[in-house]
Structure 1
């Protein structure tokens, strides 16, 4: 079952997001397509400024796929000094990609 992952990263900056994205892609900059992800399973990714930091919403094929990515994401976020964040996970009822 697809899931929605919400990351409301209070205190995080666009610069930190870009640094993490560069690490995720192995030095190729921002993630631009599904093939840029280090693990399979991402359906959609949206990121931008939030009220108090940086905000990300992802859709993943499953919670297991998200967890595989989280194991890569969290150490990179810590390396760039991003504040700790707690993902909120919701079941997806309807996913439209085109």
Structure 2
């Protein structure tokens, strides 16, 4: 079953987010789900918050795919100085592509 993973990163800058993406993709950039180092991403949405932080919402094909990704992501976030609070995970009822 697909899941939604929502991250809130208070105080995180666009530069930190982009550095994390560069490390995740080996500097190739983020043009589509195939650019992620782990298969199973359906959609990734990110942007600044009104209080100067960063917000990320991902939809993954399964919890297992997300957990595999999290094992790759968390060390990168720590290296970049992004706090690693657990995301809010919800089951998906409906995805429109």
Match of 1:33 in 2: 32
Cα separation, 1, equivalents of 2:67 and 2:50: 26
Match of 1:76 in 2: 76
- Structural RMSD (CA): 0.9
**Count of matched residue pairs:** 96
CA drift at 1:51: 3.1
Contact 1:10 1:85 (C-alpha < 8 Å) held by counterparts? no
Cα separation, 2, equivalents of 1:51 and 1:75: 27
SS in 2 for 1:93: coil
Where do 5+ consecutive residues of structure 1 fail to align? none
TM-score by length of 2: 0.94
Which residues of 2 match residues 85-96 of structure 1 at below 5 A?
85-96=85-96
CA drift at 1:32: 1.0
Deviations 1:16-63 (A, max 9, x none): 00000000101213x111110101000000000013310000000000
Contact 1:11 1:83 (C-alpha < 8 Å) held by counterparts? no
Which residues of 2 match residues 1-98 of structure 1 at below 5 A?
1-29=1-29, 31-52=30-51, 53-97=53-97
Contact 1:41 1:66 (C-alpha < 8 Å) held by counterparts? yes
Where do 5+ consecutive residues of structure 2 fail to align? none
